[in-house]
Structure 1
Amino acid sequence: MNRTHIPGILAMAAIVVASNILVQFLFGQWLTWGAFTYPFAFLVTDVTTRVYGTVAARKVVFAGFVTGVICSLIGTQIMGEFGPLVTVRIAVGSGIAFLVAQMLDVSIFSALRGGRWWRAPLASTLVGSSLDTALFFSIAFSAQLIWLEPANDVAWANEALPLLGLGPAVPLWASLAAADWLVKLSLALAALLPFRLIVTRLTARRRPA
């Protein structure tokens, strides 16, 4: 492992751990505080891909995946008011969503890196985060996938309610997913400036004196 990759690995691990903790705390009706930290995983992935390449980025992603698995295993052993803090479906959904979406992010970024500086991080993050949201919420809460964990009652997540309190009636988990997705899209745009600044600084450091 190249020592230059360590900051990216540590940053990714910190984001995953923080998000796993903050997801336990509600922010309004549709979100948790974890929704505001997790999207920065895409920033770490994109910076690593731009500066160090796809091989390094995939190592950073894998480190985040392993960290997430460890957090999930710990969460399944901690009992809350309604059972384990992390159910099997949430653990599986979280792991699959993270690994697939982040690896896709790396691939899309690599394919677009020759264009304008903002195109690769914006496109890869938008596509990756959209897939992440779709995979996680459908695996964790969809009634159609109850066979993944028959003992886990997800009836509460499938109660029909207006989308985000305003739109047509949909399962509650669809509103949770929509709110999460909107946060991801907003932060994808907001992260373009720090992406530019961090890449410029790291690239300058790598140039020979």
Structure 2
Amino acid sequence: MMAARRYQPMSRAQFGIAVLCMLLVVVGSNILVQVPLNDWLTWGGLSYPVAFLVTDLLNRRFGPAAARRVAWFGFAAALAVSVWVASPRIALASGLAYICAQLVDIQVFDRLRDQRWWRAPLVSGTLGAVLDTAVFFSVAFAATGAPWVTWMMGDLAIKLAVNVSMLAPFRALMWNLAKPASV
């Protein structure tokens, strides 16, 4: 049996900053997903994968319980704001896709965290992006007449590429986050 891991406790300020980051990423992406670049891509596909970077960094430093707590608070805050800045359908689709994908990302990351440094964020981010994209686009745009299937495929391709590109900032930030905060 494996010994229980010890994680650094998350302060209220760190929690607040993490929730604010999630809120900004999700609300910004909900606005940007309504602005197509072409028939294959919306701007939201470029911004949303940052949510997985935030979650994975939280999971690495503070553990899965803290990451889930931030995901749930981020979900509530983003849903509340998204209703006013995006359509109710976009807000609902985003909220549902976000919480499903974040919880999967957190679980998979935690299971893979002791393997090579890149495996947990790459695999969990990929699975999260696939789930998020499928749920979001089918709820947000099905039966609207919009080219949602091609948007979904284009957004997924971009999310997967951005997920890979997030490995470099994850690696750089992971070492900084591993250090205990100075008092």
TM score, norm. by length of structure 2? 0.86
How far 1:87 moved relative to its partner? 4.0
Gap regions ≥5 residues in structure 1 = 76-84, 144-153, 158-171
Q: What corresponds to 2:5 in structure 1?
A: none
Equivalent position SS for 2:117: coil
- What is the CA–CA distance in structure 1 between the aligned matches of 2:40 and 2:11, rounded to whole Å? 41
Of 2, 8, 19 in structure 2, the residue corresponding to residue 9 of structure 1 is 19
Q: What corresponds to 1:151 in structure 2?
A: none
How far 1:208 moved relative to its partner? 7.2
CA contact (8 A) 1:17 1:67 kept: no
Gap regions ≥5 residues in structure 2 = 1-9
Of 171, 179, 184 in structure 1, the residue corresponding to residue 154 of structure 2 is 179
Of 67, 70, 87 in structure 2, the residue corresponding to residue 60 of structure 1 is 70
CA contact (8 A) 1:30 1:175 kept: yes
Structure with more relative contact order (C-alpha pairs < 8 Å, separation 6 or more): 2
Equivalent position SS for 2:87: coil
CA gap of 1:126–1:197, structure 2 versus 1, over 3 A, is same
Does residue 86 (structure 1) correspond to residue 96 (structure 2)? The answer is: no
Structure whose CA Rg is larger: 1
Q: What corresponds to 1:163 in structure 2?
A: none
CA contact (8 A) 1:20 1:71 kept: no
- What is the CA–CA distance in structure 2 between the aligned matches of 1:42 and 1:51, rounded to whole Å? 14
Q: What corresponds to 1:42 in structure 2?
A: 52
Count of paired positions:
173
Does residue 115 (structure 1) correspond to residue 121 (structure 2)? The answer is: no
How far 1:207 moved relative to its partner? 6.7
- What is the CA–CA distance in structure 1 between the aligned matches of 2:148 and 2:35, rounded to whole Å? 17
Equivalent position SS for 1:27: strand
Equivalent position SS for 1:100: helix
3-12 or 182-191, which deviates more? 3-12
- What is the CA–CA distance in structure 2 between the aligned matches of 1:54 and 1:73, rounded to whole Å? 28
Q: What corresponds to 1:106 in structure 2?
A: 106
CA gap of 1:18–1:70, structure 2 versus 1, over 3 A, is same
CA contact (8 A) 1:57 1:106 kept: yes
CA contact (8 A) 1:23 1:32 kept: yes
CA contact (8 A) 1:23 1:33 kept: yes
Does residue 27 (structure 1) correspond to residue 2 (structure 2)? The answer is: no
Identical counterparts, % of pairs: 43
How far 1:62 moved relative to its partner? 1.4
Equivalent position SS for 1:46: helix
Equivalent position SS for 1:117: coil
How far 1:49 moved relative to its partner? 0.3
CA contact (8 A) 1:39 1:184 kept: yes
Q: After TM superposition, what 4+ stretches of structure 1 lie above 3 angstroms from structure 2?
A: none
Equivalent position SS for 2:52: helix
